[in-house]
Structure 1
Amino acid sequence: MPQLALDGAALTYDDEGPRDGDGVPLVFIHGWTANRHRWDHQMAHFATKRRVIRLDLRGHGESDGSARTIEELAGDVIVLLDQLKVDRFIPVGHSMGGMIAQTLALGHPERIERLVLVNSISRMTYSRGRGLLMAASTLAPFKLFVAANIQRAFAPGHPREEIREYIRASSATPREVVMTCYAAMRTFDVLDRVGEIRTPTLLVHGYHDIQLPVAQMLRMAKAYPDALVRIVDAGHELPVEKPAELTAALDSFVTGRA
């Protein structure tokens, strides 16, 4: 797999599909403690007809390095796309990846064709009780902290062995990367600016998402000038819980049928 050398990091990425295919490239951005393989189903589908790019963010998957802000991670995406000579594109971001995608849309509106946010929000909001619980959870042993967060990301009934595999993969992410990205997500807030994003936007969310509840997504959707909302019977890990449903929603949206 190709890698891009950056200052303090090496990003692993995939660049597939026809260069003269249908529409601008799709750029898939994974979430916290995940990796580019969260998008396997979507990559296999879209690579038959258009250019598709995905990457392991700094410190995740097969990329090294570390970043402390969402803006730094978004900057890496732009550097990669510049290297690949991609101008306009459609970012598809899951969870933290959706925060990165919104940062890209706000910082580089001229390059965004459409925007897709999967199980993501524009502002982390907690009740006082949940805020204290989330803060206390960071004091737990590292592997327990990661396992608890991944376990609760899936809707009830998801196969336990699959969940264990995702926990193992997430636990391999370096502690510094996990905790700095966790802190970056907790302070992320662009809700007052999303009205500036004029490009058509698809918001796909799991009904059973307790990590980033659907009510928070709907609050965000009201602020978008041109938003389409899809609610799916899934938890927070929609790309792997209901991959076919997500792929179908993406296909309809990016081809203008939705």
Structure 2
Amino acid sequence: MSDLLAHDVAGDGEAVLLLHSGAADRRQWDGQWAALTARHRVVRPDLRGFGETPPPPEPGWSDSADLLALLDALGIERVAVVGSSYGGRIALELATVAPQRVSQLLLLCAAYPGVQRTPAVEAFGEAEDALLEAGDVEAAVALNVQTWLGPDATPAARDALGEMQRRTFEIQLVADDDLDPVRPDVDAATIEVPTVAFSGGQDLDLFQDVARHLADVMPHARLVELAWAGHLPGLERPEQTGYLLLAELAAPAEPADGKA
């Protein structure tokens, strides 16, 4: 694609790329933005079909190609990538196709196709599909907010996620299904980038399984379990999540288990 993703960039120092979840857009990182940009040059894009980035006009596009084009335009050769949920999957794709561009992976409750889906995730998908097929977008928004935010999320955080999810539906429900991205084959066991896989103790079981799997199979990964967290810790405890990310960015991951 020749047009760049909508994005924000601020700060100085080593570069950090923030990739949002599939229920949100780049506003997901509002709670960490000030802390991260005080120490790093930080980029947060809206992935294609989210926020202010429209769906692609033609087939043959990929998220990793979009991100590499953005990094090139900004003159960033190497970047630490923080990926939340779907953004974690895209981070793994980027590390697969361009490992020389990725210095570190911080994966917050990442999605990964190499782990079998669980009944709880299947039930969520079926419920969401039924609501959308019935045209009840507001109920689908409410279902996503209820599912993806843990008990520590404030009413303001729930409203913020609802607004972002509603925007995602507005864009994607009218998009052409034939314009799905080209996805590289990702084998986490071959990704040698230093990695931290964060798991939320209040999250759906699939994403806890994914975090454990990534920590087990990736050569330089470790698991950090957040007992308090649901699927989107950055929205649930914004300040604490910012501190966690800054600490890991200052000390690249080593292959050992951790608790927080």
Give the TM-score of the pair, scaled to structure 2. 0.81
Name 1:228's counterpart in structure 2.
Answer: 222
1:170 aligns with 2:165: yes
RMSD over equivalenced CA pairs, Å = 3.2
Question: Which of the residues 145, 149, 158 maps onto 1:154?
Answer: 149
Candidates 119, 129, 146, aligned match of 1:138: 129
Cα separation, partners in 2 of 1:157 and 1:239, compared to 1, 3 Å: closer
Unmatched tracts of structure 2, length 5 or more: 254-260
Residue 137 of structure 1 aligns with an amino acid whose one-letter code is E
Q: Could you state the TM-score of these two structures normalised by the residue count of structure 1? A: 0.81
Matched, 1:219 2:217: no
Q: Deviations over 1:16-57 (max 9, x none)?
A: 112xx2xx3000010113111211232211212221111111
Instruction: Render the CA deviation track for 1:218-254: whole Å, top value 9, x for unaligned.
Output: 1232111111221121111111112222222222221
1:101 to 91, 99, 105: 91
Q: Which has the higher contact order (CA 8 A, sep 6+)?
A: 2
Which residue number corresponds to residue 85 of structure 1? 75
CA distance in structure 1 between the aligned counterparts of 2:248 and 2:66, rounded to whole angstroms: 26
Stretches (4+) displaced over 4 A: 66-69, 178-182, 188-191
Q: Distance in 1 between matches of 2:208 and 2:58?
A: 27
Alpha-carbon distance between aligned partners in 2 of 1:139 and 1:160, rounded to the nearest angstrom: 26
> Is there any run of 5+ residues in structure 1 with no aligned partner, and where?
1-5
Distance 2:126 2:57 in 1: 21
Q: Is residue 29–residue 234 contact of structure 2 (8 Å, CA) maintained in 1?
A: yes
CA distance in 1, matches of 2:45, 2:214: 26
1:209 equivalent to 2:209? Answer no
Change (3 A) 1:152 1:133: closer
Question: Mapping of 1:1-258 within 5 angstroms?
Answer: 6-7=1-2, 11-18=5-12, 21=13, 24-66=14-56, 72-123=62-113, 125-127=116-118, 131=122, 134-135=125-126, 137-140=128-131, 141-156=136-151, 158-175=153-170, 177=172, 193-210=187-204, 212-232=206-226, 233-256=228-251
